[in-house]
Amino acid sequence: MLNLLVITLIISIILILMLLTNFIISKKMNKSREKMSPFECGYDPMSKNRLPFSLSFYLISIIFLIFDVEISLILPMIFLSKYYYYLNYLNMLIIMIILLMGLYMEWKEGALKWFK
C-alpha cells in the first residue's frame, strides 16, 4: 500500500514539474484573428461569420455517411457467411437494393451534379 502511494506521489510531482516547465518555457505569441480562428476547409476565416455554405458539400457528406454505414453493415456479414448462408445473402441483397434505390433517388434529384 505504501509502495503505491509513493509511486502516485512521484508521478504527481513529475506531472506538476512538466506543466510548470511548459508554462515557463512557452512563448506567448501575439494573438491575431486568423491564427485564433478554427480552420475549416472551404471557409475564409477572415470573412463574416454565418455565411451560407454550399449545399453540394452537405449532400456529398450525407452520401459518404450512408456508404460508410453500408460498409460497417456488410463487413460482418461477409465473416458470418459460412454460418448463415442463405439468410446472410438475403440480408445483403436487401441492403444493396435499399442503397441502390437511394443512390438512384440522389441521382434523379441532382445531388451528384457538382456544376449546374
Domain limits of the chain?
A: 55-115
pLDDT value of residue 43? 57
What pLDDT is attached to residue 108? 85
Q: Residue 21: what pLDDT?
A: 92
- Count CB neighbours of 92 within 10 A: 15
26 burial level (CB within 10 Å; 0-12, 13-18, 19+): exposed
SS3 74: helix
Each residue's pLDDT expressed in tens, for the chain with a length of 116 residues? 778 889 999 999 999 999 999 888 876 666 666 666 666 665 555 556 655 667 777 777 877 887 777 778 777 777 777 777 777 778 888 888 988 888 888 788 776 676 65
- Predicted confidence at residue 94, as pLDDT, reads 87
Residues 8 and 27: their CA atoms lie apart, in Å, by: 31
| pTM (predicted TM-score) | 0.42
Who's near 73: CB < 8 A, 6+ residues apart?
95
- How many whole angstroms separate alpha carbon 32 and alpha carbon 100? 48
